[in-house]
Structure formats: structure tokens, C-alpha cells
Structure 1
Amino acid sequence: MTQSKAKQKKFIVLIGLLFILTVITFIISLNLGVVRIAPIDVFKTLLGMGTARDQLVLVDFRLPRMILSLLIGAGLAVSGAILQGVTKNDLADPGILGINSGAGFMVILFIYFFQGSMNSVTTFGIFLMPLFALVGAVIAAFLIYILAWKKGIDPVRLILVGIGVNSGFGAAIVIFQLKMNPQDFMQAAVWLSGDIWGANWKFVAILAPLILLLLPLALYKAHTLNIMNLGDQVATGLGIRVEKERRLLLLVAVALAGFSVAAGGGIAFLGLVAPHISKRLIGPKHQLFLPITAVLGSFLLLLADTIGKNLLAPTQIPVGIVVAIFSAPYFIILLMKAK
């Protein structure tokens, strides 16, 4: 009982610390950019007393992008945590397994056939893009699951199949990119490397309810994930319908990844690194582990976006590249340690 209370206390301290760090990064990000705005002017603008220029920069451009960063970060991080739990593979990540590529492929198809240009995505198109991304993510996950299944899911086989599916969708994406005009080709290339391109309130209004609905569902299934980690036979003996629960959890993970890709492109490694760091901080119990992962994912992506926007300003580094620079070495270490 004492150990449980200590864990709860540690959880509250960690979640509070991550929340404070996220708020500090949020405030700093509001101030920084091509157009610098003093902290006092930021607060004035948020209270409706700022200039027209500050209102335009903060409310119309920066705030939607930052809110999307928080949503996408949480979505990808929890998606990776679920995938690692369901597959019992510490290297599972929606970017590495090809789920992001599947979602990105369908978004590229949608833009190519129905919109004509990334600059001309209509309001109706913004509503459809998450749906197309979800379909692509589900198709990729289905292919991976079918091809990796051989009397169960073998962790190594899963990674190899995922890398193959990722490469296949990547090649298909390049084919359609080559058919685009040069400007759209460059925009698509940047977006696929991880770029929050749909930074407007319409995207926020669409994605926020979807991601905020799926995150509590993932937390609701935390107890099931704990039991499934004991093995399929033990989970079945404890009354868990393993295959049904596995499919539901995979669908939640895939949906979170697909919706995140619709607004943030192919951001890899975040779903790998955030769960690992969280597990080291709080342990493997999913009731504590998943909330820490969600907040940490939001913080890391917001921090990466802030760095990407300001490090080489006025040139912006895609957020996916910043995440990869910091996360790829960690992935290599995990790969070397994997049995």
C-alpha cells in the first residue's frame, strides 16, 4: 500500500512538472518567431487588447499550430505506447511500422485526385482528409498484421514486415509526387518529412474532438493492456478476449496515428521515444504510464516545433526532422539492445 501511494505521488509530481514545462514552452513559442512579440503584448493580445498585427500573428497563425502540436504529440505518443503494448515489441512505432506512410499515401492521393494542389485544399477537403488518412492507416495496419501473423505476432517479424510496408507506401508516394507540379512536390516532400502544414482553426476543430475522444478510450483500456502484457494464455485465463481486445486497441492506435498524420505529416520516432522515456520515469503500469506518455509527447513535439521555427529563422526546419535528429540515436541504441 505504501509503494502504491509512493507511485501515485511520483505520478502527480511528474505530470505536474511536465505540465509546467509544456506551459513554459507554450509561452516561449508564442513570443518567438519571424515576428517577435513581447510577453506583455502576448498577454494583451490574448485578452483582446492587442494590435491587429499581433492578433493576426498570434491568433490566426501561431495558436492553431501550437494546439495542433500538442494534439499530434499526444496522439502519436499514445499510439506508439499502445502498439508496443499490444505487439510486445519495444521498437514498435507508427512511423517505423509504416502506418504513417499508409496514412500519408492516402492523403497524397486525395490531394492529387480531388484537390489538385496542397495550397487549394477546400474547407470540405479539410473535413475529408482525416478520413482518408484513417483509411490509409487502417490499410497499412491490416497488411502488417496479416503479413506478420504466423502462429502469433513475432516481434522481429513485425518490425521487418513494417519496414517493408513502409518502403512500399513510400515508393508509391514518390510516384504520385513526381506527377505533381514542382511547388506541390516540394510542399508534399516537406509535409511527409513531418510538418504541421494545416495550421488553422478548422483543422483544430476537426482533429481536437477526434483525438480527445480516442485518448480517454486508450486510458480506459489501460487495465486490459496490463493483463495482455502477461501473455495471451494468462490474459485468456483471466477472462480477457485477447484477439477482440487486440484488434480494438490496434484500431485506436491506428486511428490516433492516422488523424495525427493528416495534420502533421510523417513524424517518425516520437511514438517510439515518448513511451520509453515515460516507462523509465513511472514504470509499466498503463494507468500511470499512458497519461505521462500523452503529456510528454505533447511537450516534446511542441518543443521540437519551437526549435524548428526559430533555430534557422526565417527558414523553418520541419518538426519531423527535429524529432528525428534527437530520437534516431535513441532508436539505434534500442535496436542494438534488442534480442
Structure 2
Amino acid sequence: MAEVTTSPRTWSPAAAPPHAPHSGGPRWRVVVGSYGFRLTLVVLLALAAAVGILTYGNPAAPGSSGFWVIVRSRFASVGTILVVAFCQGVATVVFHTVTNNRILTPSILGFDALYRVIQTALVFLFGAGTLAATDGLGKIALQSLLMVGFASLLYGWLFTGTKANLHLLLLVGVVLGMGFGSLSTFMQRLLTPSEFDILSARLFGNISASDASYLPWGALVCVVVGTVLWRRRHVLDVVALGRETATSLGVRHQREVLLTLVLVAVLISVSTSMVGPMTFFGFVVAMLTYQVVGDSRHTRTLPMVAAVACATLLGAYFVLRHVFYAAGLVSVIIELAGGLVFLVHLLRKGLR
């Protein structure tokens, strides 16, 4: 029998894959377009803005004792921005999840209007000096408890029984918000011009006037609520599929929606109590996050919205403080831009 011999396979350039010499280009595009790269880039932008706020325009020599004194004095603003950005961004994304609507914002439930009623009632009943006399952690905690208590009573009332309806909850929230707004407007018309001027300064968010003593409390709330939401991120993915689908997959949809709305109320109450109402900021950063991520999984949207919110608010504060010297107008400018983005989004939705 003749012996069959095989020759070893030899490599030649012609046998190489046609795209092998150019594999570096697509690989680089994959890295740039990856979620990790985008998240890292946004975090670096936020860190750069934070360092700029802390160090830019410091009149003392770098490294001197006076330099670090000024840096420490600016930590309150940076810490407040981080807490507020986290609360607004994360609350808006999970609110969009449970409502299955990316146009709504948590302010539709009347938190901003309730905050205005509380501040206006203090001035109306006890005078303008009460605002300054009652400043402190106790007042902030009491305001937050009132907002969360209001939300819990509202949710508990509307979500008990077999006819729980999320749309009814939103409708009641809008009506109560309008009622609170009318009540606060009525009381404001009875104030003296000086009292109204002092009150107006409290009804607009002001990051520059933040108190460093609030930060440990606000940061603790962010850590606790953020941990709870992160541990339930996969449950939120199922809730986003809708009531029927989530129920068929074994998720108690009504309970999960109620728990998530209470956590949203906690985050919004902390943010509002620290700097005042911010209606459209969460909507803007949520829309940016959806565009950057291109994915609905909360494993990606929650970290990204926190990073985008921090980078946006830190960057806006840096530009307005050190370029235009208008740090007190940060919330006003953000609300103006956010309102315009909201209207454009509504118009685009209507034209489709």
C-alpha cells in the first residue's frame, strides 16, 4: 500500500484575511463607541470641572495655606452640586421607568409646588425673619419629611385596592400642584414688598448659598437610596416592560412602582430642600443619557445619568461663575435651557 504523505501548511500573505492589515481602525472605533469609554469620558469631564471650580481664580499662591483655605471654602458648592445632580438625574430616569413615559418629570407630582407653599406659609404666618431664624439641618429634614410624607399618603391612597392606576396618580399630582401653586400665589400677593423680595430669593435654586452642614445628610441619603436602586436595577428593567409583562414574569408590579415612587420622592425632596426647585434639569440630563447610552438597561443608564448630571451642573457652574461672574444664575439658566429643550422635544414628538 502506497504511503500517503502530507506536507505542512505554509502561510503566505495571500492567505491572510483581507482586512487584517487594517484591523486597528475598526478596533479603535469599537473602543471609542463603547459604553465604558463614554462613561470614563463623562467622569473625566466632571472631574475637570470640579477641579476648575476648586482651583481656578484662586488669588493665593498654589500650595500655600491660603490657597487650601479657599479650596476648602469651595468644597460646599461642589458637594452640593454632586448631591443635587445625583438626586435629580437618578430620580428622573427611574420615574420615566415606572411611568413608561420619557416626557414626564417628578415635579409633575407637585413637589416643587409643595416646597413653595411651605416657604410662603412661613413668611406669611411668621414674617420674613423666620426664614433665616429657622435655617439649619432641622428645617431641611422637616421639609424633606413633609414632602416624603405627602407623597407616601398620596401613593398609599391611590395604590391601595384593585383599581390602582398610575395615570390617576399623575392626574391627581397635577391637580394638587396647581392647587398648591394657587395657594402660594394668593399668600404672596398679601406680603409686603420686602417680604416678597426675601421670599423670591428662596424660591429659586441657589447653589452658591448652600450650607456645608447639609452635605453629610444629603450624601447619606444619596448613598442609601442609590444602593437600593442599584440592587433593584434588574427588577426595574422588568418593570419597564409594562404591567402585564412584568406580572407574567413574576414581578409584583404595583409594589415595585409604589416603592420606586417613594424613593423618587426622597431624592427630589432632598434636592429641593437643599437648593430649591429645579423642574427641567433632570429631564435634560435624562435625555442626554438616553442619547449617549442608546440602551434602556439600568445597569448602564443609572451610572451614566449620575455622571452626565454631575458633569452638566459642574460645567455650568464653572462657566457662569468664572467666565460670566453670575454664579447665582446657574439654576435660572439651566431651567431656561431645560424648558426650551422640553418644548422642542414636545414639538418634535407632535410632528412625528
Q: What band does the TM-score fall into relative to the shorter chain?
A: 0.7 to 0.9
Distance verdict in 2 for CA 1:211–1:160, change over 3 Å:
same
Task: Tell me the CA shift for residue 216 of structure 1.
Answer: 1.8
Q: Report what 1:280 is aligned to.
A: 291
Give the secondary-structure state (helix, strand or coil) at the position aligned to 2:315. Answer: helix
Q: Report what 1:93 is aligned to.
A: 105
Distance verdict in 2 for CA 1:312–1:191, change over 3 Å:
farther
Q: Map of 1:155-304 to 2, 5 A cutoff? A: 161-177=172-188, 182=193, 185-196=196-207, 199-282=210-293, 283-304=295-316
Alpha-carbon RMSD: 3.2
Contact 2:151/2:265 (<8 A) preserved? no
| One-letter amino acid matched to 2:42 | L
Mind listing any 5+ residue stretches in structure 1 that lack a counterpart? 1-5
| One-letter amino acid matched to 1:173 | S
Give the secondary-structure state (helix, strand or coil) at the position aligned to 1:117. Answer: helix
Distance verdict in 2 for CA 1:104–1:260, change over 3 Å:
farther
Give the whole-Å Cα distance in 2 for the aligned partners of 1:112 and 1:58: 39
Q: Report what 1:320 is aligned to.
A: 331
2:90 paired with 1:78? yes
Q: Report what 1:121 is aligned to.
A: 134
Give the whole-Å Cα distance in 1 for the aligned partners of 2:107 and 2:338: 12
Among all aligned residue pairs of Structure 1 and Structure 2, give the percentage whose two residues are the same amino acid: 20
Find the partner of 2:58 among 34, 37, 47: 37
| One-letter amino acid matched to 2:228 | L
Find the partner of 1:102 among 105, 114, 118: 114
Distance verdict in 2 for CA 1:229–1:277, change over 3 Å:
same
Task: Tell me the CA shift for residue 294 of structure 1.
Answer: 1.1
Which deviates further from its counterpart, 217-226 or 297-306? 297-306
Contact 2:98/2:239 (<8 A) preserved? yes
Give the whole-Å Cα distance in 1 for the aligned partners of 2:93 and 2:329: 24
Contact 2:46/2:311 (<8 A) preserved? yes
| One-letter amino acid matched to 2:229 | A
Give the whole-Å Cα distance in 2 for the aligned partners of 1:178 and 1:299: 39
Mind listing any 5+ residue stretches in structure 2 that lack a counterpart? 1-29
Contact 2:105/2:282 (<8 A) preserved? yes
Find the partner of 1:59 among 72, 77, 80: 72
Give the whole-Å Cα distance in 1 for the aligned partners of 2:330 and 2:151: 23
Normalising by the residue count of structure 2, what TM-score does the alignment of the two structures yield?
A: 0.78
Question: What is the count of residue pairs matched by the alignment?
Answer: 317
Give the whole-Å Cα distance in 2 for the aligned partners of 1:161 and 1:8: 45
| One-letter amino acid matched to 1:250 | L
Normalising by the residue count of structure 1, what TM-score does the alignment of the two structures yield?
A: 0.80
Give the whole-Å Cα distance in 1 for the aligned partners of 2:311 and 2:152: 27
Task: Tell me the CA shift for residue 23 of structure 1.
Answer: 1.0
Give the secondary-structure state (helix, strand or coil) at the position aligned to 2:277. Answer: coil
Q: Indicate the structure (1 or 2) with the bigger Cα radius of gyration.
A: 2
Give the whole-Å Cα distance in 1 for the aligned partners of 2:199 and 2:320: 18
- What does the per-residue CA deviation read over 1:22-52, in whole Å, with 9 as the maximum and x for residues that have no partner? 11111222245xxx315x84x52xxxx422x
Task: Tell me the CA shift for residue 107 of structure 1.
Answer: 5.0
Q: Map of 1:111-150 to 2, 5 A cutoff? A: 116-122=129-135, 125-139=136-150, 143=154
| One-letter amino acid matched to 1:74 | F
2:27 paired with 1:15? no
